[in-house]
Amino acid sequence: MGKDVGVMTDKEELQHVTKSPSGFSIVWREIVRDKLALVSLIFLISITAFVFGTSYVLDQDEIVSVDLFSIHQPPSEEFWLGTDYGGRDVFGQLIIGTRNSLSIGILVTLMTGLIGIIFGLVSGYFGGHIDNVLMRILDFFMILPFLMIIIVFVAMVPKYSIVSFSLIMTAFLWMGIARLIRSKALQERELDYVQASKTLGSSNLKIMFTQVLPNLTSIIIVNMTLNLAANIGLESGLSFLGFGFPESTPSLGTLLSYATNPQTLEFRWWIWMPAAALILLLMLSVRNVGEALKRATDARQRRG
């Protein structure tokens, strides 16, 4: 960059060069510098594009309809990864399952993020009694054996659907991000700009959401990326136990749950192994990107 400065005579371009790099370009540089994160990002983008693209062509109802004449077939030209105990094409389920797992992972991450941000901001910004009460509530949620309670709610809800599933998951997973935002908001509210804004008469709501929140975006993005990996894992775990997606909407965990049958686990690896590998790859890639983002937000850790 430096060697070009001398050549440039145009004043506007000179200013452009000496300007400190924008947030996006820091992130981009960090990801490019970290080959693993770059590969992960490319993998994530291509798998998302592939999965959402092909699911327009594939018909979910056709894939999940039972075909008794082709139960447990090994991989062949017609069924690339064989069929399950209901004669359903495993490869088709893998694509649809990835789409469903990704969608719900993103949905739950966004919803927990929303609740966590509001809860944490209110608690940290106001402090004092409000903070005290809210933190007691949060502590209570933290000690709950959330996996079991999610399972109980999933089994109990009368009209069970994807929406209720993601709401139940959200209800017990917002605490981590709320606690993080709260601790940052506590620091932020002591800073001069908040005091200045208060003196100028800005409302608390305005300070919280238009002034404090933008300063926390980088932490929120990093945390939500890492949460996305955890949520994909949790969703597939719940579907694996049979308390996630219903079987008519397969997820990656549904494919793995077929492996609870010892016969399938031992002799029909093509049913569950690809799904296991895919979950692992998805979680690893999301984490890799998340770690690169984390370094980008902290100037001391940056590689580029």
The nearer residue to other proteins, 153 or 174, going by C-beta atoms, is: 153
What minimum distance in Å lies between the beta carbon of 45 and other proteins?
A: 19
Around Cβ 63, how many Cβ atoms within 10 Å?
19
Kindly tell me which of 50 and 140 has the beta carbon lying closer to other proteins: 140
* Residue 132 sits in the site that holds other proteins (CB under 8 A): no
Asked whether position 81 contacts other proteins by CB under 8 A, the answer is no
Residue 47 sits in the site that holds other proteins (CB under 8 A): no
CA distances from 93 to 28, 56, 149 (A): 34, 14, 28
Q: Is 145 in the site for other proteins (CB under 8 A)?
A: yes
Whether 98 contacts 245, CB under 8 Å: no
Asked if 167 is part of the footprint of other proteins (rule: CB under 8 A), the reply reads no
Cβ(64)–Cβ(88) below 8 Å = yes
Q: Which of 75, 176, 237, 304 binds other proteins (CB under 8 A)?
A: 237
Q: Is 172 in the site for other proteins (CB under 8 A)?
A: no
Give the C-alpha separation, 182 to 119, whole Å: 8
Indicate which single residue of 139, 195, 203, 303 sits in contact with other proteins (rule: CB under 8 A).
139
Q: 122, 207, 271, 283: which one contacts other proteins (CB under 8 A)?
A: 283
Q: Which residues in 94-192 belong to E strands, given as ranges?
A: none
d(CA 66, CA 142): 42
Q: Is 89 helix (H, G, I), strand (E, B) or coil?
A: strand
What are the two backbone dihedrals, phi and then psi, of residue 87, each rounded to the nearest 5 degrees? Answer: 70, 20
Phi, psi dihedral angles at 83 (to 5 degrees):
-130, 160
By CB under 8 A, name the binding residues for other proteins: 139-140, 143-149, 151-153, 155-156, 229, 233-234, 236-237, 240-243, 256, 259-260, 262, 265-266, 269, 272, 276, 279-280, 283-284, 287
